[in-house]
Amino acid sequence: MSVTQIFPTPSELALQVATQFCELAQNAIAARNKFSVALAGGSTPKAAYQLLATPQFADQIDWQKVHIFYGDERCVPPDHPDSNYHMSRQALLDHVPIPEANIYRMPGEIDPINAALQYEHQLRNFFWEMNYFDLVLLGMGADGHTASLFPGTQAIHEKNCWVRAHFVEKLNTWRITLTPVLINTAHQIVFVVAGQNKAEPLQQVRHGPYQPDNYPSQIIQPKKGQLTWMLDQAAASLISPRPE
Ligand code: 6PG
């Protein structure tokens, strides 16, 4: 079962993402004294992260109890403009009182295979009580990819590892990504998708035949958690919200 929420504009979408992030954080901290979240990269979530850094939202969250992970990372240094970590620092993390120890960066500057092994070790240490992510935020590319699960890559079908590093032919670059093995255990998985260029792939992902090799976002199916699609009107222009 998934939920679809459609908002008129990208800015309204960002406001609602920040609002729901804040609510989920407050609920998780009240229930389990911590909130673990994997941030999405790319450009779409940046506006929501910037809103979360404003007092209207930041003052509602006990950042000492927030633990930030990443859904994927480009294999670049942490201060590189392409780094998802760099984007999240500039938009959010440099502006809120979160302890540095609570930010778990994917080390994009080191050998990718070692980076994936290191990150998996960190994640397995953190989730040793079998509690998994309270929230995984995901974007979706115009080719239907999510995180760094790109069409035609083996990471889509990974059955054991939580983190994989792979060379993405299409981009001619290495990426590090969480795999569906971990993503699908999250309590809440939220796709944040905006823009007319996402309308056609979104229709394929949501209502086309099941073909995750071509549309990897289809592999995201929470085992017990809730899947929510938070869309702007442009991205949703080819789908009508209907119960799954
Ligand atoms: C990345 C992201 C990736 C992103 C989509 C959408 O590292 O690029 O994790 O999965 O979410 O490509 O990107 P936009 O939001 O920029 O369209």
Q: Mind listing the pLDDT tens digit for each residue in 204-233?
A: 999 999 999 999 999 999 999 999 999 999
Cα–Cα dist 127/144, whole Å: 29
- Separation of CA 139 and ligand 1 centre (Å): 5
User: 163 - beta bridge partners?
Assistant: 178
pLDDT per residue over 35-78, tens digit each? 999 999 999 999 999 999 999 999 999 999 999 999 999 999 99
Please state the pTM of the whole predicted model. Answer: 0.97
- The pLDDT > 70 percentage for the chain reads 98
Cα–Cα dist 27/238, whole Å: 34
H or E, element range at 91: helix 84-91
- Separation of CA 71 and ligand 1 centre (Å): 10
Q: Is the CB of 232 under 6 A from ligand 1?
A: no
Query: Which pair of structure tokens corresponds to residue 28?
Result: 């998780």
Q: Is the CB of 141 under 6 A from ligand 1?
A: yes
pLDDT per residue over 155-182, tens digit each? 999 999 999 999 999 999 999 999 999 9
SS3 154: helix
> What is the CA angle 210-205-23, rounded to 5?
125
Mean pLDDT, to the nearest integer, of 113-135? Answer: 95
SS3 97: coil
What are the angstrom distances between the C-alpha of 118 and each of 14, 76, 111, 123, 141? 32, 16, 10, 9, 27
Cα–Cα dist 35/134, whole Å: 6
Provide φ and ψ at 147, rounded to 5°.
50, -130
At position 137, the amino acid (one-letter code) is L
- Separation of CA 72 and ligand 1 centre (Å): 9
Q: Is the CB of 44 under 6 A from ligand 1?
A: yes
What are the angstrom distances between the C-alpha of 67 and each of 74, 99, 113? 20, 9, 24
